[in-house]
């Protein structure tokens, strides 16, 4: 008996998906629930698990194919799992002869895409000798091209944008073309929260099993500032302005496929430990490309931290339909004046990009000042003042 492997129904916000990186090839045995191929959408990469255990009899859609919900991508033939010492099942007759170079190219190819394996055979390359850049070290077609071209020689390569990268590009252009974007800056003395973290870090870790970072302070400060300046937490819908009485904070996180922005829902209800745990989970999921569409949908305000890469200052671009985004940067010891004296303090530049159509300069500056005051006097976050 055979079973069709179909693309599941996609969320309403996702029209179609692209197949990337088949993890099995025809003739392989697959367990029920084992991931066959990755489905890349505009937002996330999803697994497509096998509905049954058996032999992968046919692949109907190759790497790079665009599919929609209900499309058949593979056929599984019901079969018992082969014994460990038995020859693997194969539904296709073996060719009467096999070229030695082809056999060599097939060795070690379990973690290579079908296109990469085909190139290996055609160019007499051992796949095991090729460094893979795909998920889990999978050898892609691009990896094979680069290996064949020669690691040290001059060459160029044309690679199609991933769906996520194309969507990022579209949204960035949309933000610049459809909003009256402006950026204002301020600087903040990080010494108070650095001293606070140093004093209570051990106790915080012992109680919550997670480190106290800077981001939780900025999320808490942003929540307080958004309540004080509601226009910064608003969005435009046609001729209407939508004011949100909740704070869903997007946290920009790097992933192997580009920048993603998962959402801390109802951040106004979260404590420091909850925020740190949420951000840690986002980072792990982003690295493993397991963030769900739901985790990246919505949001009323975004925080991005270029300081993790050494950025001194930047003008972050809005994440539509949000009306503002806060940019954090690296911390640098700089001379500042306090009480008429020059002292050295760990300083950070802050940048707020905002849609000038609904946020005035007074509100933007006021919002940044509120952030600055909360970070430089963290007791405000506890007292709500």
Contact 10/16 with Cβ under 8 angstroms? yes
Residue 304 has pLDDT above 90, yes or no: yes
- Mark which of 54, 78, 102 sits at the end of a domain: 78
129, 155, 360, 377: the active-site residue: 360
Same domain, 69 and 191: no
- Is residue 360 among the annotated active site residues? yes
Residue 105 has pLDDT above 70, yes or no: no
Kindly state the helix (H) or strand (E) to which residue 61 belongs, with its residue range: none
Residue 112 burial (C-beta neighbours within 10 Å; 0-12, 13-18, 19+): buried
Look at the block and give the residue holding tokens 């058949």. 72
Residues 71 and 191 in one domain: no
93 has pLDDT over 60: no
pLDDT tier, 47 (very low <50, low <70, confident <90, very high otherwise): confident
pTM flag (> 0.85) = no
Would you say residue 246 lies in a domain? yes
Rounded to whole angstroms, the Cα distance separating 127 from 108 reads 6
Q: Is the pLDDT of residue 109 over 70?
A: no
Cis peptide before 321 (omega within 30 of 0): yes
Based on C-alpha coordinates, what's the Rg of the chain? 26
Question: 40, 61, 78: which is the final residue of a domain?
Answer: 78
Q: For the chain, where are the alpha helices, taking DSSP H only? A: 100-106, 114-122, 141-149, 163-178, 191-208, 215-228, 272-287, 361-376, 379-383
pLDDT tens figures, 309-320: 889 999 999 988
Stronger pLDDT, 157 or 297, i.e. the higher one: 297
Residues 351 and 315 sit within 8 Å (Cβ to Cβ) = yes
pLDDT of residue 108: 47
Q: How far apart are CA 26 and CA 55, in angstroms?
A: 8
pLDDT tens by residue, 2-21: 888 888 887 666 778 888 88
Residues 74 and 192 reside in one and the same domain: no
Question: Which of these three, 39, 63, 78, is where a domain ends?
Answer: 78
86 within some domain: no
Q: pLDDT category, 97, cuts 50, 70, 90?
A: very low
Task: Report d(CA 252, CA 305) in Å as an integer.
Answer: 7
Residue 99 has pLDDT above 50, yes or no: no
Q: Is residue 96 part of a domain?
A: no
Tokens 């079969």 sit at which residue? 79
> What pairs with residue 347 in β-bridges?
189, 332
In a domain, 139, yes or no: no
Within a domain: 45: yes
Q: How many domains, in total, are found in the chain?
A: 2
With a pLDDT cut of 70, the percent of the chain lying above it is: 89
Strand stretches in 292-330, DSSP E: 301-305, 324-328
Of 155, 195, 281, 356, the catalytic one is 356
Classify residue 42: in a domain, yes or no.
yes
Does 36 map to a domain?
yes
The CATH number that applies at residue 74 is: 2.40.50.100
- Specify if 172 maps to a domain: no
- Higher pLDDT, residue 48 or 280: 280
What pLDDT score was predicted for residue 169? 83
* Each residue's pLDDT tens digit, 277-291: 999 999 999 888 888
Q: How far is the C-alpha of 35 from the C-alpha of 125, rounded, in Å?
A: 27
Question: In this predicted model, what pLDDT tens digit does every residue of 129-163 receive, in sequence order?
Answer: 888 877 777 888 888 888 877 754 556 677 777 77
116 is written with which tokens?
């990469």
Q: Do 313 and 247 meet the contact criterion of CB atoms below 8 Å apart?
A: no
In this prediction, residue 155 carries a pLDDT of 61
pLDDT at 189 over 80: yes
pLDDT band at 196 (very low <50, low <70, confident <90, very high): very high
Q: What is the CATH number of the domain that holds 214?
A: 3.30.559.10
Q: Could you give the count of Cα atoms lying within 13 Å of 310 in the half-sphere of its Cβ?
A: 0
HSE-CB at 289 with a 13 A cutoff on CA atoms is: 18
Give the pLDDT mean for 198-204: 95
Range of the domain at 194: 182-383
Same domain, 66 and 193: no
The verdict on 209 and 333 lying in the same domain is: yes
Which of these, 299, 232, 307, 235, lies nearest to 267 by C-alpha position? 299
- Of the pLDDT bands very low, low, confident and very high (cuts 50, 70, 90), residue 166 is confident
The tokens of 130 are what?
């090729």
Pair 310, 194 in one domain: yes
Residues 56 and 191 occupy one common structural domain: no
């Amino acid at each position: 008996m055979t079973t069709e492997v179909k693309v599941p129904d996609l969320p309403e916000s996702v029209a179609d998906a692209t197949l990337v990186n088949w993890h099995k090839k025809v003739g392989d045995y697959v367990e029920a629930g084992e991931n066959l191929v990755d489905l890349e959408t505009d937002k996330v990469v999803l697994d497509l698990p096998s509905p049954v255990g058996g032999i992968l009899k046919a692949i109907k859609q190759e790497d790079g194919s665009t599919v929609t919900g209900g499309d058949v991508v593979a056929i599984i033939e019901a079969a018992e799992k082969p014994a460990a010492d038995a020859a693997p099942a194969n539904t296709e007759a073996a060719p009467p002869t096999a070229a030695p170079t082809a056999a060599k190219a097939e060795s070690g190819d379990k973690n290579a895409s079908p296109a990469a394996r085909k190139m290996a055979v055609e160019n007499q390359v051992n796949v095991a000798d090729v460094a893979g850049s795909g998920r889990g070290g999978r050898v892609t077609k691009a990896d094979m091209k680069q290996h064949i071209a020669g690691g040290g020689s001059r060459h160029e390569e044309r690679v199609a944008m991933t769906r996520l990268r194309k969507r990022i590009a579209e949204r960035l252009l949309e933000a610049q073309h459809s909003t009256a974007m402006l950026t204002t800056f301020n600087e903040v003395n990080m010494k108070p929260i650095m001293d606070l973290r140093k004093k209570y870090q051990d106790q915080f870790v012992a109680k919550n099993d997670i480190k106290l970072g800077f981001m939780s302070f900025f999320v808490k400060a942003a929540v307080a500032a958004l309540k004080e300046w509601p226009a910064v937490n608003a969005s435009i819908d046609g001729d209407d302005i939508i004011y949100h009485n909740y704070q869903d904070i997007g946290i920009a996180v790097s992933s192997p496929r580009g920048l993603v922005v998962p959402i801390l829902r109802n951040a106004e209800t979260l404590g420091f430990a909850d925020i740190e745990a949420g951000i840690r989970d986002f980072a792990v999921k982003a690295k493993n490309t397991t963030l769900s569409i739901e985790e990246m949908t919505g949001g009323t305000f975004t925080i991005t931290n270029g300081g993790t890469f050494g950025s001194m200052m930047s003008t972050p671009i809005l994440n539509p339909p949000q009306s503002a985004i806060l940019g954090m940067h690296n911390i640098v010891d700089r001379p500042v004046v306090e009480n008429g004296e020059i002292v050295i303090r760990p300083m950070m530049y802050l940048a707020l990009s905002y849609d000038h159509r609904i946020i005035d300069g007074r509100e933007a500056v006021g919002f940044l000042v509120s952030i600055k005051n909360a970070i430089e006097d963290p007791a405000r976050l506890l007292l709500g003042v």
